[in-house]
Structure 1
Amino acid sequence: MTAVSPKATGIHHVSITVNDYERSRAFYTRLFELLGGQVVMDVVGAPHKHEGCRMMLLAAGTFMLGVWEAAPEHRGRAFDRYSVGLHHFAIALDSRASIDEVHRRLVEAGVEILDAPAEYPYAPGYYAVFFSDPDGIKLELVHM
């Protein structure tokens, strides 16, 4: 019998929880359209807990994002990326020009830009833009 050597191939998806589902639904649908992606699921009665809550799944390239409606008892809580939990997530793009174009469209849409497109010292050739979603969750688009 041959031993199996498991090997990760990447992150399949990240899921976030949002206060105002409709507001976030519109934001993430538009963002993923800009990235060449789409909504692949949008349901009421999410399949795990809080059956009355809504959930959507979006896909762009090999990345998927789940957006969950907060349970009623948790709605209204502010996101704090320096508390335990998610700090931010990054989506890889195919070129610097793509990052610049998406940045331009985000600015046109009134999205809060945290850090404009630039080279950052995290790794050689690291080019990124940082911005916030409607709940203040930090997002990054990066090309290396």
Structure 2
Amino acid sequence: MEKTLTPGINHIEFWVSDLFAAMKFYNSFLTLIGWKQISGASFSNGAMVIYFVERKNDIKTASLGMRHLCFQAVEKKQVDQVYDALAAEGAAFIRGPIAMPYSEQYYTVDFYDPDGQILEVAYTPYATLG
């Protein structure tokens, strides 16, 4: 029986300088917002997968491309829980937790992963798509 596919993102692959550090960091907050670690180098939310590939000798450079990746929190308190967990890990924050005027009750925290990727966890109950 063939599976019905819908448009969307199939997977995301992060290149990281230290796989162990990346997995520890991402595990510290992804599990708080409903993701599960499914292998030594990946997480899933049941609809998509994030893979991590260690690239120890690569040098990060400034380039055009994705600015940041935002993860959806389904409860406002999850944003605060993510902040607390990342603060305990010594993460570098850009802003938040803070309410933003993008939509009613938009509540976010923005931060860097260990390799300097910009990430966000946001609660957006009234944001519209499109």
Match among 9, 12, 15 for residue 14 of structure 1: 12
SS in 2 for 1:131: strand
- Offset at residue 76 of structure 1 (A): 4.5
Query: What SS does the corresponding residue of 1:92 show, helix, strand or coil?
Result: strand
Q: For 2:113 and 2:69, how far apart are their aligned partners in 1? A: 11
CA distance in 1, matches of 2:114, 2:61: 10
In terms of mean alpha carbon deviation, does 132-141 or 106-115 score higher? 106-115
The change in CA–CA distance for 1:84 and 1:39 in structure 2 (over 3 A counts) is same
Residues 32 and 38, structure 1, Cα contact 8 Å, conserved in 2: yes
Conserved? CA contact 2:28–2:86, under 8 Å: no
Q: 1:79 to 1:100 in 2, by over 3 A?
A: farther
Q: Give the ranges of 4+ consecutive aligned residues of structure 1 lying more than 6 Å apart after TM superposition.
A: none
Contact 2:29 2:85 in 1 (8 A): no
Between structure 1 and structure 2, the one with the greater Rg is 1
Q: Does 1:114 align with 2:112?
A: no
Structure 2 unaligned residues grouped into runs of 5+: 125-130
Show the counterpart of 1:39.
37
Name the structure 2 match of 1:64: 49
**Percent identical residues:** 26
Q: How does 1:80-119 map to 2 (within 5 A)?
A: 80=62, 83-119=63-99
Q: 1:61 to 1:115 in 2, by over 3 A?
A: farther
* Number of aligned residue pairs: 120
* Aligned match of 2:60: 78
CA shift digits 1:37-69 (9 cap, x unpaired): 322133xxxxxxxxxxxxx22113544311111
- Which secondary structure does the structure 2 equivalent of 1:136 belong to? coil
Structure 1 residue ranges without an equivalent (≥5): 1-5, 43-55
**SS of corresponding position for 1:67:** strand
TM superposition shift of 1:125: 3.1
Contact 2:42 2:52 in 1 (8 A): yes
TM-score, scaled to structure 1:
0.70
